[in-house]
């Protein structure tokens, strides 16, 4: 008796699946263009730097940053600083995807610096650049890659609500997440 009930429910489920598919109610794969390229916004992406002679107008370089051979070089030599900031705000809405590719060449070991990716509430380019060339007091997210952590080179996430500044000397204790990441003097780019 139990077997018959199971078989009937399976048959009913199969009939429902066929009818739902025929009626267009069940969709195993989304329709339309779902490629990454269709989702990229030229306002926020830097996909084709090799074919351009200057940084796009909606981005601003700071300090010694420059465009060289299709790459944005933030620090061309030791003890230099560089930054790249989006000039206008970006509404994150419900969700977003970020892809960050970078390379650190020509130096390995501990330094006073690192590289950060910032998502901050204030749409203005920060004047305060004391925290890895970004603001110490911000409302948002900082992704920090550096070689000074207690376990070695890491990628760390810092959240701040703008109520108090982030203390650089305590940054490793205030991270909400971290992972080891060997990035210095690598023959291949790192990607986050």
Provide block-wise average pLDDT over 10 residues at a time, the chain (192 residues).
36 37 47 65 72 81 82 79 80 74 75 79 72 82 83 86 87 85 77 81
Q: Give the structural domain span for 25.
A: 1-31
Q: How much is the pLDDT for 51? A: 79
The answer on 42 and 27 residing in a single domain is: no
The answer on 122 and 70 residing in a single domain is: yes
The answer on 55 and 26 residing in a single domain is: no
Q: The pTM is what?
A: 0.69
The answer on 24 and 52 residing in a single domain is: no
The answer on 123 and 74 residing in a single domain is: yes
The answer on 158 and 81 residing in a single domain is: yes
The answer on 49 and 24 residing in a single domain is: no
The answer on 120 and 69 residing in a single domain is: yes
Q: How much is the pLDDT for 9? A: 34
Integer Rg of the chain from CA: 24
The answer on 104 and 22 residing in a single domain is: no
Beta bridge partners of residue 83, listed in sequence order: 62
Q: How much is the pLDDT for 78? A: 76
| CA pair distance 148, 77, nearest whole angstrom | 19
Overall number of domains in the chain: 2
Instruction: Measure the CA angle with vertex 67, ends 104 and 82; round to 5°.
Output: 55
- Residue 146 phi/psi, 5° resolution? -150, 175
**Residues 6 or more apart from 28 whose CB is under 8 A from it?**
none
Q: How much is the pLDDT for 32? A: 65
The answer on 71 and 57 residing in a single domain is: yes
């Amino acid at each position: 008796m139990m077997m018959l009930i199971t078989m009937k429910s399976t048959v009913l489920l199969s009939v429902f699946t066929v009818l739902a598919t025929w009626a267009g109610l069940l969709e195993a794969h989304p329709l339309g263009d779902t490629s990454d390229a269709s989702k990229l916004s030229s306002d926020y992406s830097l996909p084709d730097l090799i074919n351009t002679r200057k940084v796009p107008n909606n981005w601003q370089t700071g300090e010694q940053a420059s465009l060289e051979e299709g790459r944005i070089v933030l620090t061309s030599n030791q003890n230099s600083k560089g930054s790249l900031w989006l000039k206008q705000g970006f509404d994150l809405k419900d969700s977003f995807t970020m892809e960050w590719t970078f390379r650190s060449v020509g130096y390995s070991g501990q330094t006073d610096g690192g590289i950060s990716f910032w998502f901050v509430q204030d749409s203005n380019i920060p004047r305060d650049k004391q925290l890895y060339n970004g603001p110490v007091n911000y409302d948002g997210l900082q992704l920090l890659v550096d070689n000074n952590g207690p376990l070695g080179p890491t990628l760390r996430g810092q959240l701040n609500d703008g109520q108090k500044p982030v203390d650089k000397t305590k940054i490793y204790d205030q991270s909400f997440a971290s992972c080891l990441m060997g990035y210095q003097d690598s023959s291949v780019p790192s990607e986050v």
